[in-house]
Amino acid sequence: MDLNLLIYVDDITLMSSDATLSTTIKDFLETKFRIKDLSSLKYFLGMEVGCSQTSIQLSQHKYALEILSETDILASKPSPLPVEPNIKLKKNEGEVFPDPALYRKLVGKLLYLTNTLSDLSYNINLLSQFMENPRVPHYDAIIKVLKYVKNTPRQGIFFPASSTMELVYSDANWANCPNTCRSTTTFCVFIDNSLVSWKSNKHNTISRSCAESKYRAMVVVVCKPTWFRYLLSDLCITIKTPATLYCDNTAALNIFASPFFTSAQSILS
């Protein structure tokens, strides 16, 4: 028997395997302050939640449509890709965008949308680097992302009820930034078939080789499964199987060693 509370300001989500305990907690909270019971979780912080006995599905369909409506993209033709292939956005290329506040607002909204649309993480991370002085090509790239969102507004993440193992995929684009020559780390963490964490961010220093940039990405990503295991233990969930780290660079794999990972494998082998 366990009970967990997720609290954000005045929004509370209660999770428990015992209905009687849940009722007791709600009655206790009612004695301390006024609450409103919204029954089963369906909507929380802009996320739509679909629950069943076998799975949970999260999406931001309503939030995505609100963004598209605000920017008049609903009538536009959707895009199958969030960004043009091999695009290189430069800091000082193109005319200055006349409404930088609008650009920053859209980047902020899209950043929150990446909570369920993991495939936007890399592109929004890139576009957020130009918020200080956005240019017209940067805004055009945002419009491209919005048209992609229109193509997949109901897309989200799916969590089956049973999960037993961890998989971690890491990658790095060596010196891909045309402004600083720094690399970008991307990674995703799976528990069984469930995507539970993902990130894309630029390195603080310049890597001298592709192997070095991939190695840096692997070093960063090993912290995530460790943190997840501590979190899951607090929720009375134990994952006994070892995590497996995947990378597509043999040189980086050969120099990487961590006692936490029992195996580091190349996805190309």
Domain ranges of the chain: 1-39, 61-151, 163-266
| Position with higher pLDDT, 127 vs 258 | 127
Residue 113 in this model has a pLDDT that exceeds 70: yes
Contact 153, 69 (CB under 8 A): no
Contact 159, 55 (CB under 8 A): yes
DSSP string, 52-101: -SSEEEEE-HHHHHHHHHHTT-TTSPP-SSSS-TT----TT-SPBPS-HH
Residue 91 in this model has a pLDDT that exceeds 50: yes
Average pLDDT, rounded, for the chain: 78
Which pLDDT does position 252 carry in this prediction?
A: 66
Span 12-45, pLDDT tens digits: 888 777 778 888 888 888 888 888 887 787 888 8
**What's the DSSP call for residue 169?**
E
Report how far residue 232's alpha carbon sits from residue 5's, in angstroms, rounded to the nearest whole number.
Answer: 14
For 129, phi then psi, to 5°, come to -80, -5
Question: 124: closest CA among 139, 155, 105, 145?
Answer: 145
Going from the C-alpha of 158 to that of each of 81, 128, 192, the distances in angstroms are: 21, 27, 12
Percent of the chain with pLDDT over 90: 8
State whether residue 36 is helix, strand or coil: coil
Average the pLDDT over 253-259 and give the result: 58
Query: 136-151 vs 61-70: helix axis angle to the nearest 10?
Result: 140
Contact 43, 116 (CB under 8 A): no
Which pLDDT does position 256 carry in this prediction?
A: 60
Kind of pairing between the strands at 244-247 and 166-173: parallel
Question: 258: closest CA among 221, 232, 227?
Answer: 221
Report how far residue 89's alpha carbon sits from residue 84's, in angstroms, rounded to the nearest whole number.
Answer: 11
Highest mean pLDDT among 128-142, 179-193, 212-226: 128-142
For residue 108, name the pLDDT band (cuts at 50, 70, 90).
very high
**What's the DSSP call for residue 235?**
T
Q: Which amino acid does the sequence have at 100?
A: P
The topology (CATH level 3) of 163-266 is: Nucleotidyltransferase; domain 5 (3.30.420)
Report how far residue 63's alpha carbon sits from residue 77's, in angstroms, rounded to the nearest whole number.
Answer: 19
Report how far residue 36's alpha carbon sits from residue 72's, in angstroms, rounded to the nearest whole number.
Answer: 35
Q: Tokens standing for 261? A: 């990972």
Residue 210 in this model has a pLDDT that exceeds 70: yes
Question: 151: closest CA among 79, 82, 84?
Answer: 79
